[in-house]
Amino acid sequence: MKYVVSLVLAGWLASVAQAQPLPVTKGLEVRDDQLSEKQLKDFQQLTQQKVAEFQRYLSIIADPSQSGQVRELAIENAQMLFLPDSRMQVGSVKSKLLVKEYPLTVYLRRLRNLEKKYFDVNITFYDLALVGDWEKTQTGYVTTATYFQHFQGRGKDGRMQYEDKTVKQLGVDLRNRKDPFYAEHRWTVLLGDVRVTEVQPKKPNQ
């Protein structure tokens, strides 16, 4: 139960924290098309937090020791962090690098079902996500965030069956959207497509 409560709270806090009121000029004119440098830096930090939140959900979804209810809630909350129709690349190396791409919803389901292939699945992350500078667009701002993932899959005997370290880069979209929680337009961050930039495999222990 404590996992369910924490996941619900995390999702609610994310919806509250990610939204900021529209900037106002000295003449009290509301600006709905641009942000100040300070606001952009704040949104860079928020992007780091959202990536970290997504990483926590991935670890929960992949963990067979978590209850089905907790894992399902993590899937729902993870999808709320992303733009609709976002896609995820997955990389693996056996004899050569193989990269496949799935809709995010399909990827999250496949991640949950890895327990059918491995007895134990562990996904951890090292270093903070690296968030680039914002680039102005007609609809708002975009940037990328890079994160570093360590995947381990073990068999029933405890031996490592597959292990790798992957570098992934995801798109980030910042724009003035109608926020359902506040029922008004606010600047919000949503994550986008995720692509594989590097995979470092490790041979399983014999």
Could you tell me the residue ranges of all domains in the chain? 2-202
Angle between helices 104-112 and 37-62 (to 10 degrees): 40
Q: What is the pLDDT of residues 136-173, one digit of tens each?
A: 999 999 999 999 999 999 999 999 999 999 999 999 99
Q: What is the pLDDT, as a whole number, of residue 175?
A: 94
Cα–Cα distance between 67 and 70 in angstroms, integer?
Answer: 5
Cα–Cα distance between 128 and 117 in angstroms, integer?
Answer: 29
Helices (H) and strands (E) in the chain, counts: 4, 8
Q: What is the pLDDT of residues 101-133, one digit of tens each?
A: 999 999 999 999 998 999 999 999 988 899 999
Question: Residue 5's pLDDT band (boundaries 50, 70, 90)?
Answer: very low
Cα–Cα distance between 10 and 57 in angstroms, integer?
Answer: 10
**Residues 163, 167, 168, 174: is their CA dihedral positive or negative?**
positive
177-196 as b/e: b if 16+ CB within 10 A: bebeeeeebbbbbbbbbbbb
Query: Which 3 state secondary structure label does DSSP give 50?
Result: helix
Average pLDDT on 32-57 reads: 93
- Which residue from 131, 81, 144, 78 is spatially nearest to 106, judged by alpha carbons? 78
Res. 71: pLDDT tops 60: yes
Annotation: CATH topology of 2-202? Nuclear Transport Factor 2; Chain: A, (3.10.450)
Q: What is the pLDDT, as a whole number, of residue 70?
A: 97
Neighbours of 97 (CB within 10 A): 12
Report pTM: 0.81
Q: Determine contact, residues 167/155, Cβ cutoff 8 Å.
A: no
Question: Residue 184's pLDDT band (boundaries 50, 70, 90)?
Answer: confident
Q: What is the pLDDT, as a whole number, of residue 31?
A: 58
Res. 17: pLDDT tops 50: no
Neighbours of 79 (CB within 10 A): 15
Q: What is the pLDDT, as a whole number, of residue 33?
A: 75
Question: Residue 197's pLDDT band (boundaries 50, 70, 90)?
Answer: very high
